[in-house]
Amino acid sequence: MAEEKDLQQEQETTEESVQERFADEFYNKNRAIFDRPFTYNVEEDTDYPDYSDKDKSFVLFYIDRLKNDNLELLTYYDRPHHLTMDLNRFIIQNINVPDYELMRKCLFNQGDRFKMLINDIAEKGNEDVHNFETFEDWNNWYHKERGLVHDSIS
């Protein structure tokens, strides 16, 4: 009983510190993906290339798709370059890294490949995905596209 109370208090404390450290607009827009505790050092960001919130949102979406669902639909859009194999390998090699840190590593090491994949999706798709700003934008698009593919098969 005391262990559960300590665990709950620790989770509440972790949640409070996360909210304090990441009160920026990007974090709030993409709150759904940050459901696990993670560490982050703002000073380390100076070592990483400057990517837009749109790029970060797509990488978070991609990581979530790989971890929790499948990437069939994204593989369809990737046909001209076959980027998903390299991206998947990199993410799987770093799978134990918390999502936010993994996103930063992906952008640093694979950022150009992610941008190419976004461009492939934009060229083949029905929506201007370059306007997507959040994880939820990408997630909604994915489910909509997946529904269209499912309807066309049935």
| Residue that wins the pLDDT comparison between 46 and 88 | 88
pLDDT reading at 48 higher than 50: yes
Concatenate the DSSP letters of all residues of 62-104 into one string.
HHHHHHHS--HHHHHHTTTT--HHHHHHHHHHTTTS-HHHHHH
Average pLDDT rounded to a whole number, residues 72-96 = 86
CA angle 86, 67, 92 (to 5 degrees): 40
d(CA 62, CA 129): 14
Residue that has been written with the tokens 């996103």 in this structure: 103
Is residue 90 within 8 Å of residue 114, measured between CB atoms? no
Average pLDDT rounded to a whole number, residues 53-69: 90
> What is the pLDDT confidence band of residue 4, given thresholds at 50, 70 and 90?
low
Dist CA 27 CA 37 (whole Å): 13
